[in-house]
Amino acid sequence: MDQKPLKISRSGLRLYKECPKCFWLEKHEGIYRPSGYPQALANAIDLLLKDEFDSYRKKGSSHPLLKKFNIQAKLFSDLEILKRWRDTRRGVQYFDEKLNALFFGAVDDVLEFPGGKLAVLDYKTTGSSQANIYDEYYDQMNIYTYLLSMEGYDTADKAYFAFFIADRLNGFEDRLPFKAEIHEVKVNISGIKELFEEAVQVAREDTPPEHSINCEFHAWHHRIKEF
């Protein structure tokens, strides 16, 4: 039987890891989790950062932050390709013919080392006093690196976060200064292919997975049914 092509994004795979049932409802039934409010401030800063990094890219020079943290890589120079990789509807992608399924994710930026290896650069803004690298951030980098490798690029075994940490020590006065830091992390792409294959299989099952017994939403829903 012919199966419809399936599209799974990086955040879709995160949802699968978090709750296979919510993932199945989205992919199989088109029932999405309610969305929250857009993160307008973080999104605005993200756009400004892309413009800023692109201005150095167009001049063919390194960004001062990369120099300050002694990162021996240049900004990926092909802006047309990068625009495609940044497009949230397209991103870096890989189509698995056998599964008839597409896996994709949009990056912020990419670095290129001498010799040609690529590494993902992700911009993060935070109101915390320090840069916190959560497990989900590692997953994000592992997946982007995997997708770049599946597009046929040679990839480094590391990725970078450019953290912009809000300075909360000197009042507001209509300005929000940031302290900028680069953090290098190791990437590990093992297990991603298998997780993607598993998610595709679950999305195509006719019956949904069970609710997770550890899920707080499920426990909450169970309780409010009494009222």
Beta strands 178-186 and 101-105 are unpaired
The reply to whether 212 sits near ligand SF4 by the rule CB under 6 A is: yes
Round to whole Å and give the CA distance between 163 and 154: 25
The reply to whether 22 sits near ligand SF4 by the rule CB under 6 A is: yes
The long-range contacts involving 182-185, CB below 8 angstroms and separated by at least 24 positions, are: 182/65, 182/66, 182/68, 182/69, 182/71, 183/131, 183/133, 184/71, 184/158, 184/159, 184/160, 185/133, 185/137, 185/138, 185/141, 185/158, 185/159, 185/160, 185/161
The reply to whether 28 sits near ligand SF4 by the rule CB under 6 A is: no
Total of chain residues touching ligand SF4, rule CB under 6 A? 9
CA distances (Å), 183 to each of 124, 129, 160, 167, in order?
11, 15, 6, 18
Q: Find the part of the chain contacting ligand SF4 (CB under 6 A) among 92-100, 149-157, 183-191, 213-221.
A: 213-221
Q: Find the part of the chain contacting ligand SF4 (CB under 6 A) among 87-95, 138-146, 195-203, 215-223.
A: 215-223
The reply to whether 11 sits near ligand SF4 by the rule CB under 6 A is: no
Nearer Cβ to ligand SF4, position 21 or 183? 21
Nearer Cβ to ligand SF4, position 22 or 165? 22
Q: Pick one of 14, 117, 158, 211: the residue that binds ligand SF4 (CB under 6 A).
A: 211
Nearer Cβ to ligand SF4, position 33 or 67? 33
Round to whole Å and give the CA distance between 44 and 6: 31
Minimum Å distance from CB 49 to ligand SF4? 32
Nearer Cβ to ligand SF4, position 186 or 221? 221
Nearer Cβ to ligand SF4, position 34 or 152? 34
Q: Pick one of 13, 19, 147, 159: the residue that binds ligand SF4 (CB under 6 A).
A: 19
**Which residues bind to ligand SF4, rule: CB under 6 A?**
19, 21-22, 211-212, 215, 217-218, 221
